[in-house]
Amino acid sequence: MDLTGKIALVTGANGGIGTALVRELLRQGVAKVYAAARSIDAVTELSHLDERVSAFRLDITNAACVAAAAEQHRDVDIVINNAGLNRCMWLLGPTGMEAAREEMEVNFFGTLAVCRAFAPIVAASGTGVIANVCSIIGMVNLPVNGTYCASKAAAHSLLQGIRAELAPKGVRVVGIYPGPVDTRMTAGQEMPKATPAQVATAIVAGLANDAEDIFPDPMSQAVHARLLQDPKQVEREFAAMIPAGS
């Protein structure tokens, strides 16, 4: 896919990956980037990056807000669902139920709402793309982030479903499965992390190269390869990472 002249929408554009995606899309010659976030103040600064950036408020958990966004941005070719939430809680943890509900509301229901609203728009473009940022730990549960993993597993299944539904309409649906990235979401978690710029570069390159699934960093690539070889062994290894105090 030639990104030159395309119009992209990035949700969660105020986050580390989101901001890096906006910058990388601009570098690759898109005509416009709609940078969306729950708070307009969080993305206003992005408008000063380049005249091609248009920032606006989008709460993906608010049905009226999503509907208005689709009505006002009917020229979109590429939708990148990047908005997400991680409460860093294990499933049987003290706030496991609350965390699970919050994460599902954003990571599954919010993403689904945006897909539903923008699917007819990107289909009309003729070469439309919907790309959803899932997570490698949506493919295998990491207990310390158990509720988040479950929501991302639901997002992975969502992606497979809409991929099938939109294929006859010529819409390419892309799954993005990063490992740990050095953002606010992983602050305080001691582990090797990719930079947002590295991940964004790999994502945009994958979109340009018509990839169906993108594993944008060494950790996600390694885990994916091992999941293909021996998924039960990976599950056992991740299961051994029991949260402290559980």
Predicted structure pTM score: 0.93
Classify residue 203: in a domain, yes or no: yes
Is there a domain that residue 1 lies in?
A: no
**170-207 residue pLDDT tens:** 999 999 999 987 655 554 555 557 899 999 999 999 99
Structure tokens at 212: 């169906």
Q: Supply the CATH number for residue 93's domain.
A: 3.40.50.720
Q: What is the pLDDT of residues 49-99, one digit of tens each?
A: 899 999 999 999 999 999 999 999 999 999 999 999 999 999 999 999 999
Cα 29 off chain centre by: 21
Angle at 32 between CA 31 and CA 33, to 5 degrees: 140
| DSSP annotation string for 73-134 | -TT-SEEEE---------TTSTTHHHHHHHHIIIIIIIHHHHHHHHHHHHHHHSS-EEEEE-
In a domain? residue 244: no
Domain count along the chain: 1
Residue 116 in any domain: the answer is yes
Residues annotated as catalytic are 148
**Whole domain around residue 50: which residue ranges?**
7-239
Q: Indicate whether 209 belongs to any domain.
A: yes
In a domain, 99, yes or no: yes
What counts of helices (H) and strands (E) characterise the chain?
Answer: 9, 7
- 88 occurs within a structural domain: yes
